[in-house]
Amino acid sequence: MNPVYRLCHSMAKNLARAALNFRVIHPERLIENGPALICSNHVSFFDPPLVSISFQKEIHFLARHTLYSNPIARWIFPRVNVTPIDQDRASMAGLKTAVRLLKDGHRVLIFPEGSRSPDGQLQPAAGGAGLVVAKSRAPVIPMRLFGAYEALPYGASTPRFTTVTAVVGQPLTFPEQDFPSTREGYQAISDAIMASIASIECPPDRLP
């Protein structure tokens, strides 16, 4: 973990614990060594850092290239493992980047829904996550964030103080013979990942 990532990781963890009473349920299910595709619901701008601080070791992210529009972002993002992708021109480039990172042994975060939920509810999965799994053969870590939407919902500019919890599901593997390398096969994997995320429950005492 490079010094900038370590500093940001530590600051984000301390802030999340203080302001959001943040806690990870079933951290023993996280894969800290070797490749893994991290798949979480997506309800808030807080989601990437919250997933990151759930891990002890560093993970990688994909982000819209437009976020690199200012000098500060261009300096810090590469140092915290954020890879820019041009979603408007070629979403496939981002998926190829994820596959390459996984084959290099890294842990990569992807949101199967593709974009933030406007109402905090789970949305249908796109086929991209399934394609990444099929091409990389990496295990999947399903996660679900509870309270992140309440902390910073879609369209809000001011965070709210609430309880946020990351619950880790059982890791998933998808045998190659079970899913053909077709668009339908990729979608089936994505749907299975989304179903796993949907099945994750939050302890009643941790609900926002």
The residues that are catalytic are: 42
Residue position matching structure tokens 């963890």: 13
CA 130, distance to chain mean position in Å, is 14
Alpha-carbon distance values, 128 to 81, 99, 160 (Å): 20, 11, 32
**H-assigned helices in 35-159:** 47-54, 71-76, 91-103, 128-136, 148-151
Rounded CA-CA distance 196/142 in Å is 7
